[in-house]
Amino acid sequence: MDDMDRTQEIEMPAVEKRKKRISAKLLWFILLIASGVFLYFFWQMQMFPRKWSYYLAAVLGVLLLLTGFLSFRAKYKNIGIRICNVLLSAALIAASAFLPKLQSRVTEVIEENNDVTKNTVKVNLYVLTDEYKQAHADVFPDWQSDVYVSPVPEEPEEPVEEEETFDFWSLFRKEEPEPEPEEPEEPPFDPALDELKTIYSDKIFITQISVDTIYQQQTVQTLEEVFGHDFAIIDRTSVLEGATSLYNNEGQVLMMTDAYASMVENSDGFDTFLQDTRILYTVELPEEVREIKLSNAELTTKPFSVFFGGNDEEGDLNLSGRTDVDMVVTVNPNTYQILITSFPRDSFVPNPALGYAGDKLTHLGVNGLDNTLSGISNLLEQEIDNYVIINFTTYRYIIDALGGVDIENPYGFLADDGEYFEEGLIHLDGDPALMYVRERYHLPDGDFGRNMHQQLVMKAIINKVASPAIISHYDSLLEALKGTFLTNLSSDAIYAFCKKQLDENIHWNIVNYRVEGSLAMSACASAGIMELSVVLPYMNQLQIMVDAIRDVYEGNIIEQQEMPYGEGVLIYPVPGVPYEEIYAPVVEEPVYTEPEPTPEPAPVEEVPVEETPPAEEVPVEEAPPAEETPVEETPPAEETPVEEAPPAEEAPPAEG
């Protein structure tokens, strides 16, 4: 028994079992597949240069050779190479999933910002507030009758429940229950619409159809449907004349596109317009997207220009509205040249939409972006088809996303919010940068200085975006750009330009010019006969900008130069349009120096004077001899002036 037990004890020890582990070779094959997938997606990225794919393929090839050698030669229990294969495979798989999302996100941002078909235009109905009418009861004697009192909604009556009676014969009839008629749902009560119908349906509406034809006519048709009848209208030739009629009680409702509101408030005499009025009702209309095609500009092979326009207001972006920023960026990708040119927003220029009559540049955008592009193209003698529309707040978002920008501030100044900007190199984050590009009242040269600040910040943004530092801010920049601008540049064109920048690591030669002008008061086409403060652009400075843009397009290298002292305020007229039709409102300096030589009528009068003497030669010649006889007779009478004065009776014998 003991021997049996010993043999059992000897046979009992269990055979050691090897734990199942994934071999390094299998993990290396997974790494090989992950590398191929990652290289494929990287190749598909439109923004990355092709040579980056070749460099990446070379790096992955070396990495695979090294890990493969270690995986096949390593001992079975060597865990280090297996962990390395797992980590590399996981990283490549994650990157392969991230790259398509990144490109999709970039494309979404660009396409969302060039989709303007969803934009709407708001046409507001402005009425004066009850407080303003009460304070000016002499102009509005019946103001109390226009005070609206919202009706108290009636509580719905509870339905009376009818007693159910049992019908015995219904047990034997097969009757299908009749469907209950669906009652149309009543729209929710709208106090603004109710006030419009009850108080203002018989009032006089003020329009400016000649200035804002399409939207005003569509609004009139919409209101006719709301009222169910025609209503009284008085039409004015400008929005300022319309606002004046509202204040004078010539009409009680001012119909005006939302884009004109800030224009009215910024005009002399209407500083409190938005405080004196309230929006009674708003009609939203689809924006008339005029023919501004999606740009297919070859941004990598041919020179191009982009108009940057925007204002200092919050809210949705549209292709119609004032432009407080009027900047053109001209790029030659072959010579690595960038030219930034800008105009004061109050520049007095031809307005193509209003018969090329003189108007403020900022007002051109109220008639549509295509009108602004046409006006700028005429000024710079270069067709400009590409655009980027922004708000001033876009500066803040972009600069915050970039981690701030550095600029060389030419002089120190104190801004409206109390922040002091020192002279010299300064760093600007989002909010300070926004104040920097908006400030103008505390600058020594006012709006001209603001134009310079906008160019300095634009130049800093270009330098930051074109530097390798952009890679670390790529995600935040995409988030900042989403929904903050409108453009017609296609995603393919932008991808190609980004690829060229990354491929060649271009250091751009950036030159910036801004035209100044002479301050004046003039009637503007969009404001009627009322005179507004305008800037008459200097002709010699404008010519420098025109020549610089031409040089960039022709491939000539230009260097930064100081703008000369401004001379002349006559800018080139539009071809085919008489000069006096463009600048008739401007009664200033050199405009009337040419017509001054008006002595031309004098020669016209001389001709008849010369002709008359020959006709009167006979009477004129005969008259002198008749006068000579009395003249000769008087001397003898004067020889005895005093003494012989009494014998003047001798005169009769002389006459006889």
Chain segment 517-532, per-residue pLDDT in tens:
888 888 888 877 778 8
Q: Strand (E) positions, 322-462?
A: 325-332, 337-342, 348-351, 357-360, 386-391, 405-409, 413-414, 420-421, 424-428
The token pair at 258 is: 């939302």
Handedness of CA 46, 49, 50, 54 (dihedral sign): negative
Average pLDDT over residues 168-181: 62
> By mean pLDDT, which of 283-287, 514-518, 607-611 is the weakest?
607-611
What local confidence, expressed as pLDDT, does residue 442 receive?
Answer: 79
Q: Which residues have a Cβ under 8 Å from the Cβ of 498 and sit 6 or more positions away?
A: 47
Helices (H) and strands (E) in the chain, counts: 21, 19
pLDDT reported for residue 647 = 43
- Interatomic CA distance for residues 314 and 327, integer angstroms: 20
How many Cα atoms occupy the beta-carbon half-sphere of 227 within 13 Å?
A: 20
Q: To 5 degrees, how large is the angle CA 396–CA 48–CA 501?
A: 60
pLDDT-derived band at 644 (thresholds 50, 70, 90) equals: very low
Q: Round the average pLDDT of the chain to a whole number and report it.
A: 77
Share of the chain above pLDDT 70, in %: 73
Residue 156's pLDDT band, with cuts at 50, 70 and 90, is: low
Band (2; pLDDT cuts 50, 70, 90): low
In this prediction, residue 327 carries a pLDDT of: 92
Question: Residue 179 burial (CB < 10 Å; 0-12/13-18/19+)?
Answer: exposed
Neighbours of 28 (CB within 10 A): 23
| Beta carbons within 10 angstroms of residue 286's beta carbon | 11
Give the integer Cα–Cα distance in Å for 426 and 407: 6
pLDDT at 172: 59
Q: What is the pTM of this model?
A: 0.68
**Residue 491: what pLDDT?**
78
Choose the weakest-confidence range: 120-124, 177-181, 511-515. 177-181
Give residue 307's Cα distance to chain centre: 9
Average pLDDT for 192-206: 90
Highest mean pLDDT pick, 175-189, 238-252, 527-541 = 238-252
Identity at 526, one-letter amino acid code: S
Quick one: pLDDT at residue 286?
A: 80
**Cβ atoms within 10 A of the Cβ of 65, count?**
10
Per-state percent for the chain, helix, strand, coil, to nearest 5: 50, 15, 35
Contact, 442 vs 414, CB < 8 A? yes
pLDDT of residue 288: 64
- In angstroms, how far is CA 532 from the centroid of its own chain? 21
* Cα-only R_g, the chain: 42
Tell me the C-alpha distance between 257 and 122, whole Å.
6
What are the structural domains, with CATH classification, of the chain? 20-113 (no CATH), 120-149+190-286 (3.40.190.10), 304-391+446-591 (3.40.630.190)
Q: Which residues contact 424 (CB under 8 A, 6 or more apart)?
A: 408, 409
256 membership: H or E segment, kind and range: strand 253-257
Q: Which of 29-43, 76-90, 289-303, 432-446 has the largest mean confidence?
A: 29-43
The tokens for 190 are 């709208």
Per-residue confidence (pLDDT) for residue 220, from 0 to 100: 93
Would you say residue 548 has pLDDT above 90? yes
123: enclosing H helix or E strand: strand 120-128
Q: With a cut of 60, say whether residue 492 has pLDDT above it.
A: yes
pLDDT digit string (tens) for 396-438? 888 888 888 899 999 888 887 778 899 999 999 888 888 888 8
- Listed in sequence order, the residues at least 6 apart from 408 whose beta carbon sits closer than 8 Å to its beta carbon are 424, 425, 456
pLDDT (average), residues 230-253: 91
Name the DSSP class of 342.
E
pLDDT digits (tens, 9 = 90+) for 361-407: 998 888 888 889 999 999 999 999 889 888 777 778 888 888 888 99
Question: Residue 155 pLDDT > 70, yes or no?
Answer: no
Across the range 13-40, mean pLDDT stands at 77
Q: For strands 348-351 and 357-360, give the pairing.
A: antiparallel
pLDDT at 527: 79
For 76-110, write each residue's pLDDT tens digit. 557 888 888 889 999 999 988 888 888 887 777 77
Return d(Cα 524, Cα 582) in angstroms, integer: 11
Q: Could you tell me the pLDDT band of residue 18, with boundaries at 50, 70 and 90?
A: low
Mean pLDDT calculated for residue range 251-274: 86
- Residue 568 corresponds to which tokens in the numbers above? 């002349």
Q: What is the pLDDT of residue 166?
A: 57
Between 305 and 572, the more confident residue is: 305
Q: How confident is the model at residue 125 (pLDDT cuts 50, 70, 90)?
A: very high
pLDDT at 590 exceeding the cut of 50? no
Q: Could you tell me which residues come within 8 angstroms of residue 645 by beta carbon, excluding any fewer than 6 positions away?
A: none
Q: How many CB atoms lie within 10 A of CB 291?
A: 5
Nearest to 515 by CA among 335, 343, 389: 343
Is residue 638's pLDDT more than 60?
Answer: no
Share of the chain above pLDDT 90, in %: 24
pLDDT of residue 651: 38
pLDDT of residue 624: 44
Q: Mind spelling out the 3-state secondary structure of 488-552?
A: CECHHHHHHHHHHHHHHCCCCEEEEEECCEEEEEEEEHHHEEEEEEEEEECHHHHHHHHHHHHHH
**Mean pLDDT lowest among 120-134, 301-315, 487-501, 630-644:** 630-644
Q: 3-state SS string over 257-307?
A: EHHHHHHHHCCCCCCCHHHHEEEEEEEEEECCCCCCCCECCCCCCCCEEEE
Residue 214: CB atoms within 10 Å: 14
Tell me what pLDDT residue 75 has. Answer: 60
Distance CA 526, CA 263 (A): 10
Which of 201-205, 454-458, 479-483, 498-502 has the least mean pLDDT?
479-483
Band (pLDDT 50/70/90 cuts) for residue 150 is confident
- What pLDDT does 292 receive? 54
C-alpha distances (whole Å) from 289 to each of 256, 367, 370, 442 are 19, 11, 9, 38
Could you tell me if 117 and 289 are in contact, meaning their C-beta atoms sit under 8 angstroms apart?
A: yes
Q: Residue 570: is its pLDDT beyond 90?
A: no
CA distance 115 to 294: 10
**Residue 611 confidence (pLDDT):** 44
pLDDT (0 to 100) of residue 600: 45
Angle of CA points 625, 628, 632, to nearest 5°:
150
Which residues are within 8 A (CB) of 87 and not within 5 positions of it... i.e. 6 or more apart? none
CB atoms within 10 A of CB 247: 18
